[in-house]
């Protein structure tokens, strides 16, 4: 992992040095390729690292986050390569240290105005914080964070002009979830996912389209259990998308989702699903965004499905050419189906600020507070994080 981190740091620093002048427009090559890079590092403090109800651990930490983006646009193709890493080391709790790595390729092909194809490949070596994710049901934290290993592939094509009365599209997807440590605990959550979906847009106005979205996914778990977790999921959404209405863009999609298990010992689930979002930009320097969605997520310890409902409100504001800020509120409700009927309600509030010292150098600061309330004893917690850093852009 440290070797991968060193490669990303070298790419980021070489990008910055190559620019020379300190301008933040990226590095343009003779063949038209554009390279952007950044390196951010800083210090912070967290009050409850393992998200515990009792015996809370607090610690200072340092972190480094390099990233790069390479854009190629030959003929009717667009290729985008993105890489990023986040390294965090805690001074009082090395069990919570992590080294994440993300590499994403996105390819687009538009031979004419009627056809659009897209391919996305991602490799993400991440982590799950102790007390969150699959460890959210444990009364005692594990000896280290869970290291996830996710690979995904998506192929999509759409037919129809963007201004046409109607257009139709479809996609195929594959996902592989695995883990790099704690296999005695994590192997039960490893799976492969195969998916297919489609959509239809029907234009009813200059900025508005009615939509139909369908999706089918099958989950094949790698570990053979007495009560298998394998399942199929079907989703249907009806709604509308719009652009430029009263300075807003957004979508409203409402439908039904059904989860069907291969084992008769598990109960199937059918319920409401929705995907709603809107962005309002009253001024060029200020933007508000609202996102709400509800869907079935994969199970944790018991194997029963979890209905996850999320609402996120963001405000982004540019105060001057030197200073900008953002504020966020997020509500997440996890309703576990099955015998326990566990319900968790988590609130998150965050504020971040950035101030330019030079055209490509910024000072960044963040404050975040999260509170979780559960109907089962022992799983309530709060956590506060504060950090300050320095970011250098290409």
Q: Would 228 be classed as within a structural domain? A: yes
Q: What is the predicted pLDDT for the residue at 380? A: 95
Q: What is the predicted pLDDT for the residue at 12? A: 39
Q: Would 103 be classed as within a structural domain? A: yes
Give residue-wise pLDDT tens across range 258-299. 999 999 888 899 999 999 999 999 999 999 999 999 999 988
Q: Would 130 be classed as within a structural domain? A: yes
Give residue-wise pLDDT tens across range 135-177. 988 888 899 999 999 999 999 999 999 989 999 999 999 999 9
Q: What is the predicted pLDDT for the residue at 14? A: 35
Give residue-wise pLDDT tens across range 210-220. 999 999 999 99
Q: What is the predicted pLDDT for the residue at 394? A: 80
Give residue-wise pLDDT tens across range 1-36. 434 434 343 333 333 333 333 335 788 888 889 999
Q: What is the domain-level CATH number for residue 169?
A: 2.40.160
110/138: higher pLDDT? 110
Q: How many domains does the chain have?
A: 1
- Evaluate if pTM is beyond 0.85: yes
| Average pLDDT for 230-257 | 93
Average pLDDT, the chain: 91
Q: Would 357 be classed as within a structural domain? A: yes
| Average pLDDT for 341-345 | 92
Q: Would 18 be classed as within a structural domain? A: no
Q: What is the predicted pLDDT for the residue at 245? A: 74
Q: What is the predicted pLDDT for the residue at 304? A: 84
Residue 223: pLDDT band (50, 70, 90) is very high
Q: Would 313 be classed as within a structural domain? A: yes
Taking residue 19's Cβ as centre, other Cβ atoms within 10 Å add up to: 20
256/24: higher pLDDT? 256
Domain that holds residue 180: 27-393
Question: Which residues lie across from 179 on neighbouring strands?
Answer: 148
Q: Would 11 be classed as within a structural domain? A: no
Q: Would 5 be classed as within a structural domain? A: no
| Average pLDDT for 94-121 | 97
| Average pLDDT for 59-83 | 96
Q: What is the predicted pLDDT for the residue at 24? A: 52
User: Nearest-CA neighbor of 15 among 68, 65, 63, 64?
Assistant: 68
Residue 125: pLDDT band (50, 70, 90) is very high
């Amino acid at each position: 992992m440290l070797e991968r981190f060193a490669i990303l740091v070298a790419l980021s620093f070489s990008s910055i040095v190559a620019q020379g002048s300190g301008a933040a427009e990226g590095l343009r090559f003779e063949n038209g390729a554009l390279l952007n890079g950044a390196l951010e590092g800083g210090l912070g403090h967290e009050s409850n690292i393992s998200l515990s109800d009792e015996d809370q651990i607090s610690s200072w930490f340092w972190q480094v986050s390099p990233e790069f983006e390479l854009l190629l646009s030959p003929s009717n193709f667009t290729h985008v390569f993105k890489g990023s890493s986040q390294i965090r080391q805690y001074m009082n709790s090395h069990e919570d240290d992590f080294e994440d790595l993300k590499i994403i390729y996105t390819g687009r092909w538009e031979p004419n105005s009627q056809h659009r194809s897209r391919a996305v490949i991602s490799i993400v070596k991440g982590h799950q914080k102790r007390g969150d994710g699959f460890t959210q049901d444990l009364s005692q934290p594990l000896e280290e964070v869970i290291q996830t290993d996710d690979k995904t592939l998506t192929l999509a094509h759409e037919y129809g002009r963007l201004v046409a009365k109607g257009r139709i599209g479809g996609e195929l997807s594959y996902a592989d979830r695995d883990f790099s440590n704690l296999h005695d605990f994590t192997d039960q959550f490893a799976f492969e996912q195969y998916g297919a979906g489609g959509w239809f847009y029907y234009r009813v106005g200059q900025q508005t389209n009615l939509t139909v979205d369908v999706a089918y996914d099958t989950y094949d778990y790698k570990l053979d259990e007495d009560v298998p977790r394998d399942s199929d999921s079907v989703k249907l959404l009806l709604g509308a998308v719009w652009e430029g209405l009263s300075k807003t863009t957004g979508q409203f999609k409402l439908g039904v989702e059904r989860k069907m298990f291969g084992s008769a010992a598990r109960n199937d689930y059918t319920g409401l699903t929705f995907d709603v979002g809107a962005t309002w930009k009253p001024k060029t320097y200020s933007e508000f965004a609202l996102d709400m969605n509800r869907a079935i997520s994969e199970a944790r310890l018991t194997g029963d499905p979890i209905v996850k409902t999320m609402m996120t409100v963001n405000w982004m504001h540019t105060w001057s050419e030197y200073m900008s800020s953002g504020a966020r509120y997020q509500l997440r409700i996890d309703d576990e189906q099955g015998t326990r009927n566990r319900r968790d309600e988590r609130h998150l509030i965050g504020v971040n600020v950035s101030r330019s010292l030079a055209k490509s150098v910024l000072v960044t600061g963040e404050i975040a507070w999260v509170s979780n309330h559960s109907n089962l004893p022992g799983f309530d917690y709060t956590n506060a994080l504060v950090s300050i850093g320095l970011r250098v852009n290409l």
